[in-house]
Amino acid sequence: MKKWGLALSAVLAAGTILGACGNKSAETGGKASDFTVAMVTDVGGVDDKSFNQSAWEGIQDFGKDNSMEKGNKGFNYLQSKNDGDYVTNLNTLVRQKYDLIYGIGYKLQPAIEEIADQQKKTNFAIVDSVVEKDNVASIVFKENEGSFLVGVVAGLTTKTNKVGFVGGMEGELIGKFEAGFVEGVKAVNPEATVDVQYAGAFDKADKGKAIASSMYGSGADIIYHAAGATGNGVFSEAIDLKKKDPARELYVIGVDKDQSEEGKGTSKDGKEFNITLTSMVKRVDVAVKDLAEKAKNNEFPGGEVISYGLDQDAISVAKGDNVSEDVMKKVDEYKEKISKGEIKVPTAPVK
């Protein structure tokens, strides 16, 4: 299997050759207006304010740029309420003859492998995992690099020298977030401790809130979440605590997209505040849109692994109002060191 990096400039330089892929390209060589694309969410849902939502925004942008409408003649999504929905939803989209079908999240890997074997004329893409099939493109990100940088922000901002990490489910993927974050905190603040806990789910805001309550109660003043919709509970807890004590300094670091909106709250005396410190922005939307453009232009990279990182500006750190300019300058310094290979960010936690 080939492995190659993909520059985000391809999004702006998409070709003008009109074509299609999957069922229609193989059979009719259809026009661009015939091209259809859809995605299957994981259990976090399309409105998780994170990973799935970012992917859906990318598909919507692609549809808008290509004058497409939502529906089975343009672009669409199916939401998975539980893991058992993945195969069913993928099969539904195949029957509706979508040219490109995305599985959003590593949890869809087994289902994509199964259906891709059965439907070899349909093109699929998996986000955050690798499926070695000729009709599947695999999109992966260097989340450890972005997590290192928000770790730098946390390490330089914490007043208590106690920070937290809330993961969705333990595994190789979320381990990259944890490893990078811990390494970034330690790089700038060796005295700081990082409390790492996993919720065991990506769709349990109540568990995220409970873990955050425990961490903030133990003295942590910053929590980084990589937990999808579970992370909504982390924001909820931080906002509730800030309402009770407006003078208290405590923050949340968002993930996948700029989650500054999720950090907004209003104190009892009517004053607005925002507990989002920064976010590790993972441009799932750009990656999804870019691959759809390639597929539309009959350039579907089946069997390839497409890796997005700092070098392609696919991973970044959102500049929040609560982060000082000095801290952001330090982030830029570490970003340059990582890009030059001077720092190798680990991809797995040290146990």
Quick one: 16 and 99 in the same domain?
yes
Q: Which residues pair with 197 in a beta bridge?
A: 166
**Domain containing residue 24: CATH number:** 3.40.50.2300
pLDDT given for residue 292 in this prediction:
97
User: Do 68 and 182 fall within a single domain?
Assistant: no
Contact partners, residue 131, CB within 8 Å, separation at least 6: 109, 112, 113, 116, 124, 138
Residues 179 and 297 in one domain: no
Of the candidates 93, 100, 89, the one whose C-alpha atom is nearest the C-alpha of residue 36 is 100
Query: Is the residue at 303 inside a domain?
Result: yes
Q: What is the pTM of this model?
A: 0.79
In this model, does residue 344 exceed pLDDT 60?
yes
Any domain includes 351: no
Q: What is the pLDDT of residues 264-312, one digit of tens each?
A: 999 988 999 999 999 999 999 999 999 999 999 999 999 999 998 888 7
Residue 252 bridge partners (DSSP): 223, 276
Q: What torsion do the CA atoms of 161, 167, 170, 172 make, to the nearest 10 degrees?
A: -90
Q: Are residues 187 and 320 in the same domain?
A: yes
pLDDT in tens, 207-252: 999 999 999 999 999 999 999 999 999 999 999 999 999 999 999 9
In a domain, 347, yes or no: no
Q: Would 344 be classed as within a structural domain?
A: no
Is residue 350, in this structure, part of any structural domain at all?
A: no
Do 169 and 29 share a domain, yes or no?
A: no
Q: Quick one: pLDDT at residue 50? A: 82
List beta partners, residue 127.
Answer: 104, 139
Give domain status of residue 113, yes or no.
yes
In terms of residue numbers, what domain contains 126? 3-141+283-308
**pLDDT band (50, 70, 90) for residue 31:** very low
Instruction: With CA atoms as reference, report the closest residue to 278 among 327, 237, 240, 244.
Output: 327
Q: Residue 46 burial by CB count (10 A; 0-12/13-18/19+): exposed, middle or buried?
A: middle
pLDDT value at 21 more than 50: no
Please check whether residues 109 and 149 belong to one and the same domain: no
Please tell me whether residues 122 and 147 are part of one structural domain. Answer: no
- How many structural domains is the chain composed of? 2
Residues 133 and 152 in one domain: no
Asked if 122 and 189 sit in the same domain, the reply is no
| 124 plus 183 within the same structural domain | no
Residue 333 in any domain: the answer is yes
In a domain, 83, yes or no: yes
**Residue-level pLDDT at 314:** 87
Domain match, 230 and 334 both: yes
3 vs 351: CA distance, rounded Å: 29
